[in-house]
């Protein structure tokens, strides 16, 4: 994970701030377009799962795929390879986003990071409490974390539809909030959705991490040299009983932020730039296609399942805005923080509404929380409904907010 993946060669004279802004603009562009692709994939999954060809939908994802290395044979369904293997690349990009933001972005200074951190915390606690208020029963309470995360691609994509009238600092606030949400979601998965941990697996993962550090120390520049140790880290997490996708976060966080050659962008920027389009346009839509196909024909909202749908949906479309806006107001009111220039309370309201778009991470956590297919389908339905309401309300208020901004500029 060093310098040799294709990326942008930036001249030495380009200042660090301009380089960071260029990377941010590229990131936002990819996320905005991918949000539309993600929406199309989710709609296609719903239509397919409720069509006369619904059996083919489920048969496809249950198709066994074999990995064979000599006498070693590893057989898992296509669903596993998408959710547990390909999504590791998604988490790798998440880890690198976090690493880059800590080094030179929104989290590099405490006074810049504290407000979105507090807002994200409110956007996690309130939805979890709303969900649990409907689902205290054993089994259903496992889904408390489902509505706590924000889907970056969808949220940024909806924001992009509102045009350039939305102030830049509002976009940065939303992006920082969503990234912090991802950090919290990763910690929640690691702490609350792992069981039966095997120390031997952690030893294997640690060996893979040491191999990565060793290759970095020796100056290996080709990203392909890191594939084998990355696979060892992934396999170690799988053996340990931790969800193997978290290996991506670990590898992302240890990707170098400084380049050995000053005229070339750092590895964390180059690798993320190379992988991000693949994640945004291929892996995430494929994940949506494989997991958003809730069949309404066989859906049974009974035995408490209806409360899972209600809890998830309400926590996303109402709990997220209440938590984000409330925590932001409290932080500003007490004098701990100040709103960035150009960010009004109308903009904070827009951020809160868009934060209710859970989708990718929410569905991912739902699959970890529930082994009962009825509860899982109910949770997915709640995610889809809550996210749809958040998109609709976000677009509605966003259009009004954008119009006010245009009038303010005109005046």
Place of tokens 């830049």: 168
Q: How much is the pLDDT for 10?
A: 43
CB-based contact 68:223 (threshold 8 Å): no
pLDDT category at 3 given cuts 50, 70, 90 is very low
CB-based contact 153:280 (threshold 8 Å): yes
Secondary structure letter of residue 106 according to DSSP: T
pLDDT category at 392 given cuts 50, 70, 90 is very high
CB-based contact 163:400 (threshold 8 Å): no
Secondary structure letter of residue 339 according to DSSP: P
Per-residue pLDDT at 12 exceeds 50: no
CATH match for 16-76+111-174+280-410 among 1.20.1530.10, 3.90.100.10, 3.40.50.2300, 1.10.150.20: 1.20.1530.10
* Separation CA 351–CA 162 (nearest Å): 13
Q: How much is the pLDDT for 11?
A: 47
Q: What does the radius of gyration of the chain's CA atoms come to, in whole angstroms? A: 21
Q: How much is the pLDDT for 170?
A: 85
Question: Across residues 99-117, what is the average pLDDT?
Answer: 74
Q: Where are the domains of the chain?
A: 16-76+111-174+280-410
pLDDT category at 9 given cuts 50, 70, 90 is very low
* Separation CA 338–CA 175 (nearest Å): 18
pLDDT category at 7 given cuts 50, 70, 90 is very low
Secondary structure letter of residue 164 according to DSSP: T
Per-residue pLDDT at 152 exceeds 60: yes
Q: How much is the pLDDT for 32?
A: 64
* Separation CA 65–CA 151 (nearest Å): 29
Do the strands 72-77 and 64-69 form a parallel or antiparallel pair, or are they unpaired? antiparallel
Question: Across residues 85-92, what is the average pLDDT?
Answer: 88
CB proximity list for 268: less than 8 A, separation 6 or greater: 96, 99, 100, 103, 255, 256, 257
* Separation CA 120–CA 324 (nearest Å): 6
CB proximity list for 213: less than 8 A, separation 6 or greater: 254
Q: How much is the pLDDT for 196?
A: 66
For the chain, give the percent of residues with pLDDT over 70.
Answer: 87
pLDDT category at 394 given cuts 50, 70, 90 is very high
pLDDT category at 134 given cuts 50, 70, 90 is very high
Per-residue pLDDT at 8 exceeds 60: no
State the pTM of this model: 0.74
Q: What are 215-239's pLDDT values in tens digits?
A: 888 887 778 888 999 999 999 988 8
Helix (H) or strand (E) holding 364: helix 360-369
Question: Across residues 200-213, what is the average pLDDT?
Answer: 93
CB-based contact 104:265 (threshold 8 Å): no
Q: How much is the pLDDT for 26?
A: 60
- Number of helices followed by number of strands (H, E) in the chain: 17, 2
Task: Map residue 288 onto helix, strand or coil.
Answer: helix
* Separation CA 160–CA 107 (nearest Å): 23
Q: 290: phi > 0 → left, psi -120 to 50 → alpha, else beta; which?
A: alpha
* Separation CA 326–CA 323 (nearest Å): 5
How many Cα atoms are found within 13 Å in the side-chain-facing hemisphere of 370? 24
Q: How much is the pLDDT for 6?
A: 43
Q: Rounded to 5 degrees, what angle do the CA atoms 303, 309, 313 make?
A: 160
Q: 359: phi > 0 → left, psi -120 to 50 → alpha, else beta; which?
A: left
Mean pLDDT of the chain: 83
Q: What are 168-184's pLDDT values in tens digits?
A: 788 878 878 887 887 88
Which of residues 315 and 152 earns the better pLDDT score? 315
pLDDT category at 204 given cuts 50, 70, 90 is very high
Least confident of 54-58, 150-154, 222-226, 261-265: 261-265
* Separation CA 92–CA 63 (nearest Å): 26
Q: How much is the pLDDT for 121?
A: 94
* Separation CA 89–CA 83 (nearest Å): 10
């Amino acid at each position: 994970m060093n310098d040799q993946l294709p990326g942008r060669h930036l001249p030495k004279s380009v200042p660090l701030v301009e380089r960071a802004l260029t990377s941010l603009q590229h990131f936002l562009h990819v996320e905005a377009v991918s949000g539309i692709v993600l929406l199309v994939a989710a709609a296609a999954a719903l239509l397919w799962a409720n069509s006369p060809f619904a059996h083919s939908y489920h048969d496809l994802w249950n198709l066994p795929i074999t990995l064979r290395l000599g006498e070693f044979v590893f057989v898992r369904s296509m669903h596993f390879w998408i959710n547990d293997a390909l999504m590791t690349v998604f988490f790798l990009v998440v880890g690198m986003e976090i690493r880059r933001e800590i080094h030179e972005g929104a989290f590099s200074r405490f006074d810049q990071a504290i407000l979105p951190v507090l807002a994200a915390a409110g956007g996690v606690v309130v939805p979890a409490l709303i969900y649990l208020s409907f689902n205290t029963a054993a089994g259903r309470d496992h889904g408390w974390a489902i509505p706590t995360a924000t889907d970056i691609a969808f949220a940024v994509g909806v924001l992009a539809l509102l045009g350039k009238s939305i102030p830049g600092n509002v976009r940065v606030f939303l992006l920082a909030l969503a990234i912090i949400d991802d950090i919290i979601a990763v910690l929640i998965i690691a702490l609350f959705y792992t069981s039966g941990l095997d120390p031997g697996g952690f030893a294997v993962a640690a060996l893979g991490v040491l191999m990565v550090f060793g290759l970095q120390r020796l100056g290996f520049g080709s990203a392909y040299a890191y594939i084998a140790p990355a696979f060892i880290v992934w396999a170690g997490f799988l053996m340990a009983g931790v969800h193997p996708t978290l290996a991506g976060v670990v590898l992302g966080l240890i990707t170098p932020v400084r380049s050995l050659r000053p005229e070339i962008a750092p590895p964390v920027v180059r690798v993320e730039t190379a992988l991000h389009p693949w994640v945004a346009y291929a892996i995430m839509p494929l994940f949506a296609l494989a997991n958003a196909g809730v069949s309404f024909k066989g859906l049974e909202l009974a035995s408490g399942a209806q409360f899972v749908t209600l809890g998830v949906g309400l926590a996303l479309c109402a709990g997220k805005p209440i938590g984000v806006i409330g925590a932001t107001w409290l932080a500003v009111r007490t004098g701990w923080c100040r709103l960035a220039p150009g960010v009004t309370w109308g903009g904070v309201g827009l951020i809160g509404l868009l934060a209710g778009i859970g989708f990718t991470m929410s569905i991912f956590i739902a699959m970890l929380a529930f082994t009962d297919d009825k509860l899982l389908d109910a949770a997915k339905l709640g995610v889809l409904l809550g996210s749809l309401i958040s998109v609709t309300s976000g677009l509605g208020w966003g259009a009004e907010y954008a119009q006010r901004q245009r009038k303010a500029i005109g005046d």
